[in-house]
């Protein structure tokens, strides 16, 4: 019995060292960054896309023109197998795709945001998992509108490249951006996880549980952001010309999960906003 107790204790310590989370058991489980001593990861929001219909308490699927296409509600559906499907197709003379967002339903500051994704197969459009604050915020009379955008992953190419990016600053002149192309062998085949660890001091990006980028010299957002899963089309954009590709196409998401870093004893969040850098 003493040996069994020791083994159980060592197993728990190993799980904590690898960033195990408190909350419901999820399948598949996530690989989380190690939590500092006395802290733990807590699942605070998620959607496993079970059932037959998009959960409208968590997401909305807007309809409007986006770049050279139209986002339409019928481009977004659940497949009944636990996946969100965003389709790209042509309807008459119009190209259609779509997106979902948690605007007005879940807007959150800091944490570990992760999605399990299977990318589109053809060119001419690109899928993305990202965070945004609708493009502006009044920080103060002298600051003007500010935006923050965290592109956890975008895939406009059909090879092993994906891109991470961070955008911030005023709308229009003066806006700043940094990005990083990561090479992930086989990223166009099967399922892969993409994540960002967002703290008051930094962002760190992950693919399949491995850190791929930690940008420097960026202004880190201290404000709530909402989640988006989207597909976009430009006739002469970085993804190529959709008029020369094979449609229909689809972008699948198995789940989206958000974890907070909390005090292990009290369960309260430990990451607190700092004054927004000017």
Q: What is the per-residue pLDDT across 149-194, written as a single tens digit (0 to 9) for each?
A: 999 999 999 999 999 999 998 767 888 999 999 999 999 999 999 9
Bridge partners, 128 (sequence order): 154, 230
Does residue 137 register a pLDDT over 50?
no
Q: Of 71-75, 256-260, 271-275, which gets the smallest average pLDDT?
A: 271-275
Q: Can you point out the beta strands (E) in 74-217?
A: 76-78, 84-91, 94-97, 99-101, 107-108, 111-118, 126-132, 146-155, 161-170, 176-183, 192-198, 203-207, 210-213
Q: How far is the C-alpha of 68 from the C-alpha of 66, rounded, in Å? A: 6
Q: What are the structural domains, with CATH classification, of the chain?
A: 2-263 (2.60.120.200)
């Amino acid at each position: 019995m003493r040996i069994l107790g020791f083994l159980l204790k060592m197993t728990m310590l190993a799980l904590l060292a690898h960033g195990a989370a408190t909350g419901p058991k999820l399948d598949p489980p996530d690989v989380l960054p190690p939590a500092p001593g006395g802290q733990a990861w807590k699942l605070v929001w998620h959607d496993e896309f079970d059932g037959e219909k998009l959960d409208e308490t968590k997401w909305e699927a807007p309809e409007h023109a986006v770049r050279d296409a139209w986002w339409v509600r019928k481009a977004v559906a659940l497949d009944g197998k636990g996946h969100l499907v965003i389709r790209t197709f042509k309807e008459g003379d119009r190209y259609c795709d779509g997106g979902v967002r948690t605007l007005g339903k879940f807007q959150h500051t800091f944490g570990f945001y992760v999605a399990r994704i299977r990318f589109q197969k053809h060119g001419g459009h690109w899928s993305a998992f990202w965070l945004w604050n609708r493009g502006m915020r009044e920080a103060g009379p002298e600051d003007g509108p500010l935006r923050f955008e965290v592109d956890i992953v975008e895939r406009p190419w059909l090879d092993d490249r994906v891109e991470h990016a961070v955008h911030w600053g005023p709308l229009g002149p003066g806006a700043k951006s940094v990005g990083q192309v990561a090479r992930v062998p086989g990223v166009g085949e099967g399922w892969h996880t993409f994540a960002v660890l967002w703290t008051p001091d930094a962002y760190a990006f992950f693919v399949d549980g491995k850190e791929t980028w930690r940008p420097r010299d960026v202004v880190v957002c201290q404000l709530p952001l909402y989640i988006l899963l989207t597909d976009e089309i430009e006739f002469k954009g970085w993804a190529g010309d959709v008029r020369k590709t094979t449609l229909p196409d689809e972008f699948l998401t198995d789940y989206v999960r958000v974890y907070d870093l909390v005090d292990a004893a009290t369960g309260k969040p430990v990451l607190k906003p700092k004054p927004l850098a000017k």
